[in-house]
Amino acid sequence: MALIQNCKRTARILRVAARYRLDALIDKQRLPWGFRVLLAPLALLPNHKAARGERIRLALQDLGPVFIKLGQMLSTRPDLLADDIAASLNQLQDQVEPFASDQAVAIVERAFGRPVTDLFTRFDSVPLASASIAQVHSAELRLTGQDQPLDVVVKIVRPGIERLIEQDTDLMFSLARMIKRYAPDGERLKPVEVVSDYRDVIYDELNMQLEAANTSQLRRNFLDSDLLYVPEVYWDYVRSNVLVMERIYGVPICNIDELHAAKVNMKELAERGVEIFFSQVFRDSFFHADMHPGNIFVNVSNPDKPQYIGIDCAIIGSLDDDDLYYLARNLLAIFQRDYRTVAEMHVESGWVPEHVRAGDFESAIRSVCEPIFEKPLAEISFGQILLYLFTVARRFEMSVQPNLVLLEKTLLAVEGLGRQLYPQLDLWQTAQPFLEDWMAKRYAPAQVLQRMQKQAPTLLQHLPQLPELLIDNLKSSAALRESAQQQQRQLQLIEEQGRRRERRQKLAAGMLLVAGALLLFGPQMPVFADVDLRTSAAIVGGLGVAWLLLG
C-alpha cells in the first residue's frame, strides 16, 4: 500500500514538474543518458512563459502543504539561491485549504479524552486560519476560579501530515541527491543538507508542546516590558498535536492604513521593532525567527507607545556567547569601516579557515562595503551588509552556520518591515547605542564577576580534582611532546630514505643510459672494437636495474 502511495505521489510530482517545465531549468547534458531519454518527450511541450522563480513557486503551491513549507524555508536561504528565485519564494502564502471541522473536533477529543463540549463553552467550527502544518479555531475556555470564560485559540495539527511529510521528504532526498550530482553548482547548493534541515524544522513544527515551550519562554523574556506581548499558553490544554492559548486582538502589522487611522506613532513603532529584535538576539539569545507579517500584530490602545504582539513561535533561533560577541564586534567594526578587524574576527571565530589570509579577506570585504557606504547612513541595510559579507566569505570557504543565516534573514525581515512602517528609519542610529551598551555591560567588571559567580559551583566541584588533572595534563603534555619528537624522527628517517632512493634512481638511470649508449654508439667507436658490447651493455643495464630494485 505504501509503495502504491509513493508511486502515485511521484507521478503527481512529475506531472506538476512537466506542467511548469521545470526540466528546462536543469542542464540535461550533465544527466545520465537514461534520464535524458526519459525527459526528451517534454521538449515537445510548450515552454512556460513565467520566469524561473515564478515557475518554481507555482509548482510548490500545486504540490501542497509540505512543499509550500519547503519553499518558505528555502526563501530564508539567500546564501544558497539566486536572488530572483529567493524573491519569488518569498511570496509563498501560508494559506492552505482547511480540513473539515468534524476532523478538528475528533482530533481534540482524542487528545484530551473528553468531548469538546466538556472542554470549551464554545468551539467555532470555521477555522480562523489554515496553514501548512496546522489550523486554528477560536473557542471559549472555562478555567477553575474564573468567573468568565476565556477567549482562546485552539491550534490543531493537520491529520495525516506526518505520513505525507515522510513520503515527501523521502522523495525530496532522492531529488536532492540528483541535484547534487547533476545540477550546476550542485555541490555548493548543498541540497541534501537543506532537505535534512527542512525535515528537522518541519518535524519540530509538528510538536505543539515544543511551540508552547518557546512561546512561554518568549513571553517570560518580555513579561515586564511594554515592547512586546506574547499570548499566554494554557499548559493543561497542550498536547503534542493540540495547543490552546490566549487569543490576542490587534491590528495586523501589514495594515498600514489602519495603523495610520489609529494615529499610531510610526517612527516609534519602527524603532521599537528594531529594539525588540536586538533585545531578543543580544540580551536573551532567543529570537523569534519567523517574523513574517502574518505573525505580528500591534496593540494600538496607546498610539504613542504602540506595543507589538507576536504569535507562532515554532521557529526560534539562538546564538552562543562566542557568536554573539563576534557578531556584535563585526557589526560595530563594519560601520566604523574597520575591515581589518572584520577579517581577523572571522578567522578568529572559526567562521573562515585559518589558512585564509586576513589581508586578502580584508580587501574582499572592503570592495563590497565601500560602495554601500557611499549612500546616506539611513539608507544602508544592515541585513544586506550581512548577506554581502556571507557571500564574500563563501569565496573564502566559509561554512555559514544555519543560525547565522536564520539571524540574517530575520534581520532582513525586521529591517524591511521597519522601513515599510517608517521609510526614514535609520537602523544604525537605532542599533548602534544598543550594541555599544551591550558590549560595555557584557564585559564590565561587574558582569564578568557575575558570570564567574554563576560558574563558581562548577569550578568548586572540580577543585578537588585539580591537582590530579594538572598531573594528568603534564603527563599528557609530556606524552604529546614525546609523540611529536618520535614523529619528527620518523619524518627525518622518511626524508633520508627518500633522498637515498632518489640517489639510487639517478645512478640506476645513469647506468641504463650508459648501457643504451654502448649499444647505440659503441660499434661506431674504435676504442670498443674488441669489446663484446651486447654483453657489456647487458651487465651495466642489469646492475642498474638490480641497484634500483634491491637498494
What grid cell was written down for 74? 528555502
Q: How far apart are CA 230 and CA 220, in angstroms?
A: 9
Handedness of CA 272, 273, 276, 278 (dihedral sign): negative
The percent of the chain in helix, strand and coil, each rounded to the nearest 5, is: 65, 10, 25
Using DSSP, state whether 9 is helix, strand or coil: helix
CA distances from 42 to 20, 334, 517 (A): 11, 50, 67
Q: How far apart are CA 362 and CA 357, in angstroms?
A: 9
Is 290 considered catalytic here?
yes
CA distances from 102 to 107, 109, 116, 314, 338 (A): 9, 11, 11, 25, 62
Which residue has cell 654502448?
Answer: 518
All residues at 6 or more sequence positions from 43 whose CB lies less than 8 Å from its CB, including other chains: none
Q: Of residues 290, 322, 426, 530, which has the active-site annotation?
A: 290
Are β-strands 150-157 and 134-141 bridged in parallel, bridged antiparallel, or unpaired?
antiparallel
What grid cell was written down for 293? 507579517
Cβ(314)–Cβ(211) under 8 Å? yes
What grid cell was written down for 539? 651487465
Residues catalogued as catalytic: 290
